[in-house]
Amino acid sequence: MGETITIETDTDEMGTVNLIEFEKKISAMNCLDRDAAMRLTSDLVIRLHRRTCSARFREQEGDRTRVSYARVLVSALQTFGILLRDEELETLKQRIEALEKVKGEMKS
């Protein structure tokens, strides 16, 4: 049947997943766009909010590790945001140059 791993599901419960299927799902994500980054960020914020704002907070095994990975995810998303912004600025620059060229040709 294959090796399995235990991960947190969408309902914040621990569940067993086939490792090969999990890796296929992760591997399918070959490129993030703005929407995918927003989904990752939203998921992280919602999970952290639920966990910290529940009626009773109890530290669980793995919390420190989870927070460490959350910090790395935030850092990666910040870098991704900078790269997206730079790409958009470059696209805008090219569009402005094209418009200025068309405008200059119209005056001639």
d(CA 81, CA 33): 10
Is the pTM value of this prediction over 0.95?
no
Identify the pLDDT of residue 4.
Answer: 62
Minimal CA–CA distance to 34: which of 88, 84, 86, 91?
84
3-class SS string, 69-80: HHHHHHHHHHHH
CB atoms within 10 A of CB 66: 14
Cα 61–65–66 angle (5° rounding)? 90
State which H helix or E strand residue 53 sits in.
none
Tens-digit pLDDT string for the chain (108 aa): 466 655 555 555 556 666 677 667 666 766 777 888 888 888 888 888 888 887 887 888 888 898 898 899 899 989 999 999 999 999 999 999 999 999 888 876
Enumerate the domain spans of the chain. 1-30, 31-107
Distance from the Cα of residue 96 to its chain's centroid? 30
The residues facing 48 across adjacent strands are none
